[in-house]
Amino acid sequence: MTPINLCPCGSRDGYTACCKLLIDGTNIAQTAEELMRSRYSAYVVGQIDYLIATTHSSTRQNHKRIDIENWSKSTKWLGLEIVEATTSTVEFIAKFDGENNSIETHHEKSTFVLEGEKWYYVDGKFF
């Protein structure tokens, strides 16, 4: 894993003071948006266990570890834009380096659920 300074989530904070605290379990996400941002950062830094652990048990079987790992490692992530966030949904655009040095986007409206004190990713609608 390559060390990074600014957090990939776009907060303008340092990674170690931002999403790393969620990914390593020091803190828990307080909102769906905070969880979504930390999941994006987990893709950037290759923290597959965190991505699996923060996927809701009702949909976890739909996400294969090898596919998550391959996408995380083979993608050069370029940035995250939050389009809209509600209590339980986050619409976002994740930019990444595509074929022939083109910038591609992953545009999704994700649904989250709060169980106990923890937020979980349930599923997403892709645009």
pLDDT of residue 100: 81
pLDDT of residue 4: 66
Range of the domain at 119: 15-126
pLDDT of residue 101: 83
Looking at the domain assignment, is residue 2 inside a domain? no
Looking at the domain assignment, is residue 9 inside a domain? no
Q: Kindly give the confidence (pLDDT) of every residue in the chain, 127 residues in length, as a single tens digit, with 9 standing for 90 and above.
A: 445 689 999 999 999 999 999 999 999 999 999 999 999 999 999 999 999 999 999 999 999 999 999 999 989 999 999 999 999 999 999 999 977 888 999 999 999 999 999 999 999 999 9
Characterize 26-63 residue by residue with b for buried, 16 or more Cβ atoms within 10 angstroms of its Cβ, and e for exposed. eeebebbbbbbbbbbbbbbbebbebbeebbbeeeeeee
Looking at the domain assignment, is residue 119 inside a domain? yes
pTM score of the predicted model: 0.93
3-state secondary structure of 55: strand
> Does residue 121 contact residue 64 with C-beta atoms inside 8 Å?
no
**CATH number, position 70:** 3.10.450.50
Looking at the domain assignment, is residue 50 inside a domain? yes
The domain total for the chain is 1
Looking at the domain assignment, is residue 111 inside a domain? yes
Looking at the domain assignment, is residue 10 inside a domain? no
pLDDT of residue 99: 78
Looking at the domain assignment, is residue 1 inside a domain? no
Looking at the domain assignment, is residue 25 inside a domain? yes
